[in-house]
Amino acid sequence: MPDTASSPDRPRLLLLDGHSLAYRAFFALPVENFSTVTGQHTNAVYGFTSMLVNVLRDEQPTHIAVAFDKSRKTFRLAEYPEYKAKRNKTPDEFSSQLSLLQQLLDTFRIQHLVYEGYEADDIIATLTTQGLAAGYEVLILTGDRDSLQLVTESSTVLYPMRGVSELARMTPESVEAKYAVPPHRYPELAALVGEDSDNLPGIPGVGPKTAAKWIATYDGLDNVINRADEVGGKAGENLRAHLDDVIRNRRLNRLVTDLSLEVAPGDLGRVEWDRQAALALLDELEFRGELRTRIMDTLAPEEEPETEGGFELAGESVAAGGLAAFLSGLGTDPVGLHVKGSWGSGTGRVDGLGFAQGDGRAAYVDIAGLTQDDDAALADWLADAGRPKIIHDANGPLLAIGAHGWTLAGLATDTAMMAYLVAPDQRTYALADLTLRHLKRELKQDSGDDQGMLFEESDAIAETAMLHARAVLDLSTTLQAELADRGGTELLDQIELPLVDVLVGMERVGIAVDSELLAGFESEFGDSVREAAADAYEVIGKEINLGSPKQLQVVLFDELDMPKTKRTKTGYTTDADALADLFEKTEHPFLAHLLRHRDVSRLRQTVEGLLKTVAEDGRIHTTFNQLIAATGRLSSTEPNLQNIPVRTEEGRRIRQAFVVGSGYETLLTADYSQIEMRIMAHLSEDAGLIEAFNSGRDFHQVTAARVFGVEPTEVNTEMRAKIKAMNYGLAYGLSAFGLSQQLKIDTGEAKGLMDEYFETFGGIRDYLAGVVDEARRTGFTETIMGRRRYLPDLTSDNRQRRDTAERMALNAPIQGSAADIIKVAMLNVDRALRENQMSSRMLLQVHDELVFEVAAGERAALEALVREQMAAAADLTVPLDVSVGTGGSWHEAAH
């Protein structure tokens, strides 16, 4: 973290050891993961730039320079030919990057310095000495410990501790705590101990502790040398035998502080970067994604975020009876529209509307004051598709508008959706956050005295609504360019934006439930929870909190002496997977009852949550969210209908309570069969996989037959299960260890099985390897329909983060394509229902499944329509197979 104690008026000089840091980056980031299409390696440039941008962002220096070694031929080498002799020859892959790194610094307008016959350390030492004398605070970013001798109360070394991502702040206190000598005496310690990287041999048998003790006892290295005869023992003999080495080491590790440089600290002030040249070079280096964003955010010379006063508005509150004239004056240019109100559970309420246009005009309409003519004029304007409206996170506002009896057409764009497609892994798409991020303006939720009020305090609601409408309008312009740059315009216009109306309609309709049946389930599961708890207590002879990991650890591992599970910060894990594995090993009855207790507790909680959300119309109106999953999948909340268990019969019974509503004939469910593997076949173009699907036989049986080299009829249950795990797991980055855990076989057998699988389906092997390499090169993965997911950790020096990103890179194109396909299917079905003037309606989407309420007499027609439209949602090399079922409940309609 930056030293916040320094004076804001005091200049801060940042000096970087370019050679040291670039070399460290070269070895921290795998060279094979960083190259351009022309074959130019870039890992050292990437890692150095990442460090540079981070330190610029965190430390905010006023002055900066980067020092480089010119060659190994320095005065130190002339005096001691063995100096740095142990170092390997500099890899060509590294040397070729130095000129690129210096070009990048030129575009950043950061001076880089060399000095014939001297090292980067000497340049840094000279500038540090000059800077301190001139009253600067100095920060030195280097991986060379020799620079520790430069540390003072006003100069700090930032030392890379792990790869290129973590820096240690070496102050006088931290240097002394680590080495037991003050900074100015660190080179004295190094002279005694030696420095292997510089090939400077130390005294045999003398380590840092002994060296520090001598320096403290004799008050410095000079006195240690002068009084060497007084040092006893074997260490003393070795000291006397190697005094020449010590003296030479100290002479060589003393940094030069008086070079005649062409620049002084005052010449190193930060200036505006050459944006055009920098971006062109970043394109050439193929640096995209998160690093490019950080560079832009850090180097772009932007002002501090403005307050709401930064939005220029000529606002008015529209008087009763004047709304028709106001709306007609808006013309056909896009209007930012902010809906003041509330929504949820399929309905909502509009209290007021804020309008904003590009010319600065804005207005607020209080719904409570509308006349009959105003209401009619507003209804016409909202329903006019020729009047483009821009709304932020439109689903809720559309529910509220619909609940008022109006219809909204002409939704030109949704700024929350745009932001999501630009950065699908972002945590929030709240308007205030996006305004600050993209417009550099602070949009507060309430207007205080310091906000430059347009109206009296009593009209703060009106001002806030207008300011939000204007923020939406301005944000849409900014995001439009970013969205186009990231290839998301077509996805927004053709899938996500049209889907808003479909989802709002589904939320408004909801799905009917049998509340009495749900209440019966709640009672039944409650009884089961109590029974399972009582059985567990009986086994151990006492009552405990079965939900407390701490109490469970005592019982399981101390009292019952069971095998230890994975160690965590709070002890040994008691999560579901660990306990299931433990039960398989021990078959202990306490674990059986504990696992049962957890299962039925979850079922009871699920039912309790469902009962709380049943509306007055006897239906549950879930909320669908397009902005949660980075892969593009829809999520369901309040309640989460995607969370209803389907793997156990007990869990599936809950779906019995979701029933066909009054006036309708039956429920119909339709889902895609093995869609993710069909997408894998399409993307990998593996002939064997395509043939397996086109055969029309059991897919897992056919693929198992090919892997094991037998006839399909000879595939037994065990063989099919193994290949099914492979088929579904590989798209998610399944490892040999993961497969072994899943199939309960040893890792060697699992690896052999994977090898056989990939030998059989070579196209899958090549695709999986290629998709990660391509994502690492471009910075993102892409679905069949162009949905991108940016994965900056693919180039992380942290192996765990890199492995996680690689699994995401494998999964995102498959799962994301499945999400896109089901969304297109929903749009197709919705359009076909309207075109055929059918009364049946779509109620739910749960992953790859759609649920419909069938109007009387439309069952056969609806099934045919759904099969046709879902199958036509994407043109794959294998057919999209659709399974359909009907019944009086969601459970009965399963297939």
Of 243, 268, 298, the one marking the end of a domain is 298
Of 421, 454, 487, the one marking the end of a domain is 487
Same-domain status, 266 and 366:
no
CA distances from 831 to 473, 675, 681, 824 (A): 29, 23, 29, 11
Highest mean pLDDT among 154-163, 475-484, 728-737: 475-484
Same-domain status, 381 and 275:
no
CATH of the domain at 364: 3.30.420.10
Beta carbons of 148 and 175 less than 8 angstroms apart = yes
Phi, psi (deg, nearest 5) at residue 624:
-95, 135
> What is the tens place of the pLDDT at every residue in 787-803?
999 888 888 777 777 88
User: Beta strands 12-17 and 63-67: pairing type?
Assistant: parallel
Same-domain status, 318 and 288:
no
The candidate with the shortest Cα–Cα distance to 398, out of 461, 483, 341, 333, is: 341
Beta strand segments in 761-866, E: 780-782, 788-790, 841-846, 849-855
Same-domain status, 437 and 468:
yes
Number of other CB atoms surrounding residue 315 within 10 Å? 23
Of 792, 817, 842, the one marking the end of a domain is 817
Same-domain status, 272 and 148:
yes
**Residues whose CB falls within 8 Å of the CB of residue 534, separated by 6 or more in sequence, listed in order:** none
Question: How far is residue 671 CA from its own chain's centroid?
Answer: 29
Same-domain status, 367 and 401:
yes
* 502, part of any domain: no
Instruction: State how many domains the chain has.
Output: 3
Same-domain status, 294 and 359:
no
CATH of the domain at 141: 3.40.50.1010
Beta carbons of 171 and 160 less than 8 angstroms apart = no
> What is the tens place of the pLDDT at every residue in 649-659?
888 999 999 99
CA distances from 252 to 122, 187, 721 (A): 11, 10, 67
The Cα angle at residue 348 between residues 468 and 401, in degrees rounded to 5: 65
Band the pLDDT of 680: cuts 50, 70, 90: very high
Provide the pLDDT for residue 452: 34
Same-domain status, 274 and 320:
no
Separation of alpha carbons 426 and 263, rounded Å: 43
* 220, part of any domain: no
Beta carbons of 115 and 259 less than 8 angstroms apart = yes
- Alpha helices in 329-459, H assignment, sequence order: 372-383, 395-403, 415-422, 431-434
Band the pLDDT of 454: cuts 50, 70, 90: very low
* 160, part of any domain: yes
88 three-state secondary structure: coil
> What is the tens place of the pLDDT at every residue in 119-155?
999 999 999 999 999 999 999 999 888 999 999 999 9
Provide the pLDDT for residue 164: 59
Is the pLDDT confidence value at 674 over 80?
yes
List the domain range (segments joined by +) for residue 693.
675-817
Same-domain status, 465 and 375:
yes
Band the pLDDT of 309: cuts 50, 70, 90: very low
* 188, part of any domain: no
The candidate with the shortest Cα–Cα distance to 893, out of 853, 839, 835, 841, is: 853
Band the pLDDT of 856: cuts 50, 70, 90: very high
Beta strand segments in 626-773, E: 635-637, 664-672
Average pLDDT across the chain, whole number = 89
Beta carbons of 173 and 48 less than 8 angstroms apart = no
* 757, part of any domain: yes
Same-domain status, 290 and 404:
no
* 689, part of any domain: yes
Separation of alpha carbons 541 and 607, rounded Å: 31
Torsion angle of the four alpha carbons 583, 587, 589, 591, in this order, in degrees rounded to the nearest 10: -10
Beta carbons of 130 and 50 less than 8 angstroms apart = no
The candidate with the shortest Cα–Cα distance to 688, out of 701, 675, 702, is: 702
Provide the pLDDT for residue 884: 97
The candidate with the shortest Cα–Cα distance to 433, out of 444, 425, 448, 423, is: 444
Ranges 36-40, 113-117, 644-648, 780-784: which has the least confidence = 36-40
* 590, part of any domain: no
Highest mean pLDDT among 482-496, 708-722, 755-769: 482-496
402 three-state secondary structure: helix
DSSP structure string for 721-753? HHHHHHHHHGGGT--HHHHHHHHT--HHHHHHH
The secondary structure element, H or E, covering residue 168 is strand 166-170
Provide the pLDDT for residue 735: 80
Is the pLDDT confidence value at 560 over 60?
yes
657 three-state secondary structure: helix
Count Cβ atoms within 10 A of the Cβ of residue 728 and give its class: 0-12 exposed, 13-18 middle, 19 or more buried: middle
Provide the pLDDT for residue 868: 97
Provide the pLDDT for residue 577: 84
**Where is pLDDT greater, at 660 or 28?**
660
> What is the tens place of the pLDDT at every residue in 801-833?
788 888 889 989 999 999 999 999 999 999 999
Beta carbons of 445 and 362 less than 8 angstroms apart = no
Same-domain status, 380 and 288:
no
Same-domain status, 335 and 448:
yes
Percent of the chain with pLDDT over 90: 57
* 99, part of any domain: yes
Is the pLDDT confidence value at 465 over 90?
yes
Is the pLDDT confidence value at 555 over 90?
yes
Provide the pLDDT for residue 8: 54
CATH of the domain at 689: 1.10.150.20
